[in-house]
A and B are shown apart, each in its own frame.
Chain A
Amino acid sequence: MIVGEPKRFAQVKGFVEPYRKILVVGCGSCATVCLAGGEREAMTLASALRIAFLREDREKEIVEDCVTRQCEPEFLEPLVTRVRDEGIEAVLSLGCGAGVNLLAERLEDIPVFPGLNTKFFGATTEAGVWVEMCAGCGDCILHLTGGICPIARCSKSMLNGPCGGSKAGKCEIGPDTDCGWALIVERMKRLGTLDQLDELAPPRDWSAGHFGGPRRVVREELLIHASEDNK
């Protein structure tokens, strides 16, 4: 899932300060699962904002909503309609960055603010803990490293790790960070494939990732004009 954390309340309050009618909108997918920006969080945040402004003798109209996913235009349509119909002046999105971007695009002249700090692609390892596991590098090499990603889980994204900073299975950056390469070596030992690491992994072509520029994926067969051609 895409893992995010709620932004500091003071910062978020500052975003919506200039507006009288504000919509707080949660996302029913990743943001819900990582307990950062789902329906419940949207309601709680809306309440907290109302109270905070009331305390300052400033009344704001703060309404809330939640959609299945903020990264799909179909799910945003009702929101766009609501914003227009109800004269909403600003939107606080609790979706991931992708949701905020798309919502901002769809709302055009209504400001959209991020309520979350979107962190990474990851998974839950234990209740209350989410760990970064994928860097979205665009050219997956997990078949080479026992299913453990050296790009996302090594602080130096080494492809021929571990470096000399690995200590008792932890990374030099801190005791809370596992050494990705210690995990890889252990896993491949267990799989009996450690010798595959003898071969030098060459310098990577990073252009498939973000370093090559903002990316897009196009599935030709799904494009509207394509289906029209087939009629």
Chain B
Amino acid sequence: MKSGSNLERVLAAGEFAVTVELGPPMDCNAEVVLEKARLLKGCADAYNITDNQTAVVRLSSIAGALLIMREGLEPVMQMTCRDRNRIAIQSDILGAAALGIRNCLCIAGDHQSFGAAGRLKGHPGAKNVYDIDSLQLVNILKGLRDEGRQQGGDPVETRPPLFIGAAWTPMGDPVDYRPLRLRKKVAAGADFIQTQGVYDVEQFRAQMNKAVALGLGERTAILAGIIVPKSAAMLRYMDSSVAGVTVPPSLIARMEAAKARGGDDKQQARVEQEEEGIRITVELIEQVREIEGIRGVHLQAIEWEKKVPEIVERAGLLPRPTVAAA
């Protein structure tokens, strides 16, 4: 056991793992986080708290992680390279580990020019950091944990027991290079992988086959990312504007048909699409589960966490396994 975290134990026991994303608020309202935690309890093996996602300032990942731990949930903290240099990163990791956080997802982080795709002001003029990249971050965490050594060489006596995660965008451009880059992340020390949202299962399967052929299915635990769609517009937006997400026309057509079922009643059209979205989500979970090398799912219901219990129930993912500590 590298960390002894629940996520690690579930995967080590050969169970199909479930992680769920929890988005913190843009203010200091702890109750929002606690409420989401209560809602989601029992749905997953661990819960990701995003780190200023889309470069929008939100209650920090570490603070969010601590809050959900109060409700008995195991967090996956997220750490981007955009806002902190290697000094702050290592410092935050040591602090997180001291506070009992065990899982950490290492990502580059959306560029600060984002501002939630223009819907919010954000801080596009901020000076970004990117002192290190996500692969170097994975490797630094590995160094802290396995060699008891800070990146600069100073010793770390009490090593942080971390389960190190990284992201993978299997259908990102250039697509041929993506399995090779995954191999690099695994070699750097990624214990688990959460992928970008999958809608095109065949395309995803093709990339997974390449990853498995490279031996990566064994060396790391790949969890397929599933983003819960709420509307045809959302699917179209992701297909055109979110890098690495491709949505098959058939899914968009299904959502359009659902919308049409609502007729002129906007409320009904919304409900129809939401229900179709949940059906699609459950199907996607069932489909990716069949793919060789997939050891779990990472479910993202953006600002729609309340639907997660229903989704995991219908996808046959409940109850979550209880794996005793060694």
A-side interface residues toward B, CB under 8 Å? 155-169, 171-174, 179, 182, 185-186, 194, 197-198, 200-204, 206
User: What count of chain B residues pass the 8 Å CB interface test?
Assistant: 36
Chain B residue at minimum C-beta to C-beta distance from A158: B133
Given contacts A156-B130, A173-B113, A198-B184, A162 and B172 within 8 Å (CB-CB): yes
**Is B111 at the interface (CB under 8 A from chain A)?**
yes
**Is B135 at the interface (CB under 8 A from chain A)?**
yes
Say how far B250's CB is from chain A's closest CB, in angstroms: 22
**Is B81 at the interface (CB under 8 A from chain A)?**
yes
Name 6 extra pairs, CB < 8 A, besides A157-B130, A164-B168, A165-B110.
A159-B133, A161-B133, A165-B172, A169-B174, A203-B86, A204-B132
Distance of A194 Cα from B136 Cα, bound (Å): 19
Say how far A190's CB is from chain B's closest CB, in angstroms: 13
Given contacts A159-B136, A166-B243, A179 and B188 within 8 Å (CB-CB): no
B-side interface residues toward A, CB under 8 Å? 81-82, 86, 108-111, 113-114, 128, 130-136, 139-140, 151, 167-169, 172-174, 177, 180-181, 183-184, 187-188, 196, 243-244
Say how far A106's CB is from chain B's closest CB, in angstroms: 31
Query: Given the complex, which residues of B lie within 8 Å of A206, measured CB to CB?
Result: 131
| A172 and B111 within 8 A (CB) | yes
Chain B residue at minimum C-beta to C-beta distance from A188: B177
Chain B residue at minimum C-beta to C-beta distance from A195: B180
Chain B residue at minimum C-beta to C-beta distance from A165: B243
Given contacts A156-B81, A162-B174, A172-B110, A203 and B167 within 8 Å (CB-CB): no
Query: Given the complex, which residues of B lie within 8 Å of A182, measured CB to CB?
Result: 173-174
Query: Given the complex, which residues of A lie within 8 Å of B173, measured CB to CB?
Result: 162, 166-169, 179, 182
Query: Given the complex, which residues of A lie within 8 Å of B243, measured CB to CB?
Result: 164-167, 172
Distance of A197 Cα from B182 Cα, bound (Å): 12
| B187 and A200 within 8 A (CB) | yes
What 6 pairs across the A-B complex have the smallest Cβ distances? A164-B169, A167-B243, A160-B135, A158-B133, A163-B108, A156-B130
Distance of A165 Cα from B55 Cα, bound (Å): 14
| B184 and A200 within 8 A (CB) | yes
Distance of A136 Cα from B219 Cα, bound (Å): 39
Given contacts A165-B110, A166-B243, A167-B243, A203 and B172 within 8 Å (CB-CB): no
Query: Given the complex, which residues of A lie within 8 Å of B168, measured CB to CB?
Result: 164
| B183 and A198 within 8 A (CB) | yes
| B184 and A156 within 8 A (CB) | no
Query: Given the complex, which residues of B lie within 8 Å of A172, measured CB to CB?
Result: 110-111, 114, 243
Given contacts A156-B128, A163-B134, A166-B174, A203 and B183 within 8 Å (CB-CB): no
Distance of A203 Cα from B134 Cα, bound (Å): 10
Chain B residue at minimum C-beta to C-beta distance from A160: B135
Among B130, B132, B168, B243, find the residue whose CB has the most chain A CB atoms closer than 10 A.
B243
Chain B residue at minimum C-beta to C-beta distance from A166: B173
| B133 and A186 within 8 A (CB) | no
Distance of A204 Cα from B129 Cα, bound (Å): 13
